Amino acid sequence: MRVLAIDTSNQVMSIALNEDKKLIAELTTNVKRNHSERLMPAIEKLMKEVNWSPDSLNRIAISKGPGSYTGLRIGLTVAKTLAWTLDIDLVAVSSLKVLAANIYAEGQLIVPLFDARRGNIYTGLYKMENGSYVPLEEDTHISSKKWAFYLSKYKRPMIIVGQDIKKHEVYFKEELADKVKMAEDEWNLPRASRLATLAYEEKPVNVHTFIPEYLKLTEAEETWKAAHPNEVGGLYVEKI
């Protein structure tokens, strides 16, 4: 089985090609550049490099979020359109789980995080069990201060992974003291090679209805919901 894995959920752009659980090629960049201009040329180039044609793909794997809204949508639109037009499987993995999967240590509690601005983070809590990454808490959008306090109830050693930790580490050190350590720098970037490996365990999603996990409503919707608590929503998009 040939898998193309894509992660553009944050500043890092990572793509990987995996055949029958063997990594064939991977490209990961950690620069502030535009995913829209670079993603498709990078996929084309990497596939050419290893002589894979688009129609030889069997599965597309995508990091579904949370993360930067625009970044998520670029990767996810490319992924779902490829899966649709090539008529192949699309599998989606939490972008936090992908990051957590950088830490390979049985039984370890892992806290992946991305900065979400204004003192907030996207984060979760995973445990490696029998080679799988099991979520102990749901992925969430929360202030790093609150999250650090919440995690302290576990009273167990944890490792934090993610390159945005520098902005928030003071709270974790305060609340978790010697129970917490930070991942080595090179493990802090989401890697599509890990996503591709996780993708073999996942069930395919419905391509057409698949959308990113933003974990957060837009401000306009939050305000509107507060003003209209009894509206159930409904069909906001219709064919004309």
Partner 1 sequence: MDRSEIIVELIQKYSSPPNLGETLFRLTEGSYSTGPPWTVKQFMEVTEQRNIQCIVAYYENQLIGYAILSVLPPEAELYLIVVDKKFKKQGIATLLFERINSYLEHVQVDSLFLEVRKSNEAAINLYQKNKFEKIGERKNYYSHPREDARVMIKKIERRKEQGLSTDTRDFMKRVRILAIETSCDETSVAVIEDGEKILSNVVASQIKSHQRFGGIVPEIASRHHVEQITLIAQEALNEANLSIENIDAVAVTEGPGLVGALLIGISAAKAIAFAHGLPLIPVNHIAGHIYANQLVRPLTFPLLALVVSGGHTELVLMQKDGDYHIIGETRDDAAGEAYDKIGRVIGVPYPGGKHIDEMAQKGEDTFHFPRGMMKENNYDFSFSGLKSSFINRVHNAEQKGEELNKEDLAASFQASVVDVLVSKTIRAAKEYGVKEIVLAGGVAANRGLRNSLSKAVEEQLENTSLAIPPLALCGDNAAMIGAAAYVEYKTQHFVDYSLNAKPGLELS
- The C-alpha atoms of residue 42 and residue 27 are separated, in whole angstroms, by 8
Residues whose CB is less than 8 angstroms from the CB of residue 104 and which lie 6 or more positions away in sequence, other chains included? 128
CB 142 within 8 A of CB 120: yes
**What's CA 133's distance to the chain center, in Å?**
13
> At closest approach, how far in Å is the CB of 116 from partner 1?
15
Site membership for partner 1, residue 40 (CB under 8 A): yes
Instruction: For residue 38, state whether it binds partner 1 (rule: CB under 8 A).
Output: yes
Q: Is 220 in the site for partner 1 (CB under 8 A)?
A: yes
Find tokens 């509206």 and name the residue: 231
Binding of partner 1 by 229 (CB under 8 A): no
Q: Is 232 among the residues that bind partner 1 (CB under 8 A)? A: no
The answer to the question of residue 208 lying near partner 1 (CB under 8 A) is yes
| Nearest Cα to Cα of residue 72 among 164, 17, 6 | 6
Under a CB-based contact definition with an 8 Å cutoff, are residues 109 and 159 in contact? yes
Q: Minimum distance from CB of 43 to partner 1 (Å)?
A: 7
Which tokens belong to 184? 């080595």
Pairing of β 59-63 and β 89-93:
parallel
Determine if 58 is a binding residue for partner 1 (CB under 8 A): no
77 binds partner 1 (CB under 8 A): yes
Decide if residue 16 touches partner 1 (CB under 8 A). no
Instruction: Of 216, 196, 206, give the one whose Cα is nearest residue 62.
Output: 196
Q: Give the one residue of 70, 107, 170, 181 binding partner 1; rule: CB under 8 A.
A: 70
Residue 54 lies near partner 1 (rule: CB under 8 A): yes
Binding site for partner 1 (CB under 8 A): 34, 36-41, 43-44, 54-55, 69-70, 73-74, 76-78, 80-82, 84-86, 207-209, 211-212, 214, 218, 220-221, 224, 235-240
